[in-house]
Amino acid sequence: MLPLWLDLVSRKAVVFGGGPVGRRKAIYLAQEAEVIVVSDTFDGDLPSSVRTVQGKAEDHLVSMVEWADLVVAATNDPNLNESIAREAERRGKWCNRADGISTFLIPSVVERERYKVAVSTEGRSPGMSRYLRKVLDERLDRRFDLMITLQEELREAAKEAVQSQKEREQRLWQVLDDERVWDLLEKDPQEARRLAHGIVVR
């Protein structure tokens, strides 16, 4: 499988299963997509943007899969999840299964102000995905956000000062590889900025 960033604004997703797993996946997808959760019971609150259909998944399977762009099979019945996945495949829809082979996966995500990092073990160990997210969450401090802001500024300056794209990339990388800049990002941002500009625009 290949990792991709997808723009799900104006896309539709149906989640079959109102338990903890289905709820978590619905909340994740609802950050951008229009989401409907189909279940006879619901475990916990859902965001107001998420619509619910109360009833058996079998009764809504065909219509909901036809409606959706993305399908999530997160019921506690493996046979039902298999039926959902087969219907999604028949209609050419991507399907995420909580208990089996999927055509798209929902990763563990570390999110900061200026970037996101997604981790997946491709279904081999959901626990390990969460553990890796925890490790990254502890180690990715505020300096990475500050460096992205600085790099954006430096790219614009480099476009005016350096004609060669290859040379621009090399100079921007020199900033990323300079421990002095990293050390100063929080301690003395202005000095970090001065030092970085001296590397890129010289």
Q: What are the pLDDT digits (tens) for 47-74?
A: 999 999 999 999 999 999 999 999 999 9
Q: What percent of the chain has pLDDT over 90?
A: 97
162 in Cβ contact with 168 (< 8 Å): yes
In this prediction, residue 188 carries a pLDDT of 98
Q: Which residue has the tokens 């009764």?
A: 59
Q: Which residues contact 73 (CB under 8 A, 6 or more apart)?
A: 16, 17, 80, 81, 82, 84, 85, 88, 95, 96, 97, 98, 99
- pLDDT of 100 higher than 90: no
SS3 for 45? coil
Two structure tokens written together for 100: 């089996």
| 167 pLDDT more than 90 | yes
Cα separation of 137 and 10, whole Å? 30
For tokens 């200026």, the residue is: 114
- The percentage of the chain sitting over the pLDDT mark of 70, rounded to a whole number, equals 100
Q: 65 and 86 in contact (C-beta within 8 Å)?
A: no
CA pair distance 184, 196, nearest whole angstrom:
10
Tell me the average pLDDT across 24-29.
97
Residue found by looking up tokens 């298999």 in the block: 82
0.75 cut: is pTM over it?
yes
Of 13, 106, 25, 18, the residue nearest 68 (C-alpha): 13
- Contact 62/53 with Cβ under 8 angstroms? no
119 strand-pairing partners: 108
- With 0-12 / 13-18 / 19 or more C-beta atoms within 10 angstroms meaning exposed / middle / buried, residue 37 is buried
- Burial code (b: 16+ CB inside 10 Å, e: under 16) for 172-190 equals beebeeeeebbebbeeeee
